[in-house]
Amino acid sequence: MLKIGITGNIGSGKTMVSKLFELLGIPVFYADVAAKDAMVTDAVLIAGVKEAFSNEAYLPDGALNRKYIANIVFNDDAQLARLNALTHPAVFRAFDAWVAGIKDAPYVIKEAALLFESTSYKMCDYSLLVTAPLKERIARVTKRDGITREQVEAREAKQFTEDKKRQLTDYLIANDETELLIPQVLNLHQKFLQLATR
């Protein structure tokens, strides 16, 4: 099964682009959703998180103690890296299981904010980067999430720069005012259908 990884920095529109591929009938795996799910369902991950951050990481009912974890990782990049190192393999496992269950699609998509940072692009056949100027991305996310420009910039600073990702990606979609989005998606869909028959 051909696997395409879609990514883009905060507010680039990678989720919007992924939804357009879904409209074309392509199954999409959302890594961020899978990560949240794995935190409360993947036994290996749960054990790892408890070992790394203590049993307090989970509430008595088994739910993740988000406040506790957020306090630990928010201003400490080393702890965040530790949490990511536990989470990423769990998401890889979930993706493999999900792909194994898909029988009748020409190709599948993995949408992941940290596709390059987590190295999961290496497990995809091709990567697709959605880009937009920082100014535009800040405007979208402040509107969508009701947060400040500084909060968006702080999240942006935790990701690889868009320039770095441009060097790593196979395909690009410009989700800005310069090019129409849907024709770009349709073009790439045709390309991926061709690649899937090779």
* C-beta closer to ligand ATP: residue 57 or 124: 124
Residue located via tokens 């702080």: 154
Binding residues: 11-16
H or E element in which residue 110 lies = strand 107-111
Q: Which of residues 124-143 bind ligand ATP (CB under 6 A)?
A: 140-141
CB of 182 to ligand ATP, least distance (A): 10
The sign of the torsion formed by the CA atoms of 169, 174, 179, 183 equals: positive
Query: Between the CA atoms of 1, 118, 121 and 90, what dihedral angle is there, to the nearest 10 degrees?
Result: 0
What are residue 128's DSSP bridge partners? 6, 171
Residue located via tokens 């699609």: 105
Does the footprint of ligand ATP cover residue 165 (CB under 6 A)? no
Does the footprint of ligand ATP cover residue 12 (CB under 6 A)? yes
Other beta carbons within 10 angstroms of residue 42's beta carbon come to 21
Does the footprint of ligand ATP cover residue 113 (CB under 6 A)? yes
CB of 140 to ligand ATP, least distance (A): 3
* C-beta closer to ligand ATP: residue 128 or 141: 141
Does the footprint of ligand ATP cover residue 175 (CB under 6 A)? yes
Question: In a 3-state reduction of DSSP, which class is residue 62?
Answer: coil
* C-beta closer to ligand ATP: residue 65 or 151: 151
Tell me which residues touch ligand ATP (CB under 6 A): 8, 10-16, 113, 140-141, 144, 175, 181
